[in-house]
Amino acid sequence: MSKILTIGAHGGIGRLFCRKAAEAGLPIRAMVRSEEQRSYFEAQGVEVVLGDLEADFSQAFEGCDQVVFTAGSGGATGGDKTLLVDLYGAIRSIRGSEERGVVHFVMVSALRVESPLEAPPAMRHYMVAKLLADQRLLESGLRSTILRPGRLTDDAGSGRVRTEIEGEGFGISRSNVADCIVEALRHPSGSNRVVDLLDGNVPIAEVFASR
């Protein structure tokens, strides 16, 4: 059975997604940077492969026909890591997917990346990195789903979101984002799609079944 490679599996969204995907019976492969990160995924029954976005990770694609990219350098790092992980890591992941014939690529991006200069100054380099990664994916030959969540929270997942920016609140729980990835994989679009995501009132399964 072909696998779904999860790049950024050890991040906040990645861990939640891998657990939820395993519970849903999806064939997940988690890419982690070190042996110390292996035990969490193996306890969930998830296959693990070692790979580092700042080194060679081409072997991670073997036997995979879908890819989830939810990697991020994190808020505590500098712009150099943002370039290496959020931008160049994403570009290399897209290129590897093209070379391996991946049929569906799910990118976790960020809300309002299309207007990076409107972001707070400390966030602009991050938004530019995400925007350029999204553009590279859209220009590739891959069928893709780009998820653009708002401000991430650790609130409990509600299973409901909205895809319109208008309305109250600009946050979304990491749990809801993880559920959105699962549904995007279950319902791949016939063409590229970009989905803004905020906590809301529409069942997540309904959002992706109708797109």
Q: Supply the DSSP string of 51-75, one letter for each residue.
A: --TTS--GGGGTTEEEEEE-----T
Which of 144, 154, 152, 159 minimizes the C-alpha distance to 195?
144
pLDDT in tens, 12-45: 999 999 999 999 999 999 999 999 999 999 998 9
Residue pair 35/50 in contact by the 8 Å Cβ criterion: yes
pLDDT in tens, 74-93: 766 778 899 999 999 999 99
Q: What's the pTM value of the predicted model, to 2 decimals?
A: 0.95
| Residues acting as catalytic residues | 126
Homologous superfamily, domain 3-209: NAD(P)-binding Rossmann-like Domain (3.40.50.720)
| Residue 30 tokens, joined | 């988690």
pLDDT in tens, 145-179: 999 999 999 999 999 999 998 877 899 999 999 99
> What residues contact residue 112 under an 8 Å CB cut-off, 6+ apart?
118, 119, 127, 148, 165
**pLDDT for 1 beyond 80:** no
As a whole number of angstroms, the distance between CA 11 and CA 144 comes to 21
Residue 203 confidence (pLDDT): 97
**pLDDT for 191 beyond 90:** no
As a whole number of angstroms, the distance between CA 132 and CA 114 comes to 9
Nearest-5° angle of CA 82, CA 87, CA 92? 130
pLDDT in tens, 6-20: 999 999 999 999 999
**Would strands 171-173 and 104-108 be described as parallel, antiparallel, or unpaired?**
unpaired
As a whole number of angstroms, the distance between CA 84 and CA 79 comes to 9
Residue pair 181/17 in contact by the 8 Å Cβ criterion: yes
Residue 210 confidence (pLDDT): 74
Q: 31: which strand partners?
A: 7, 49
Residue 195 confidence (pLDDT): 97
Mean pLDDT of 58-77: 90
Can you give the length of the chain in residues? Answer: 211
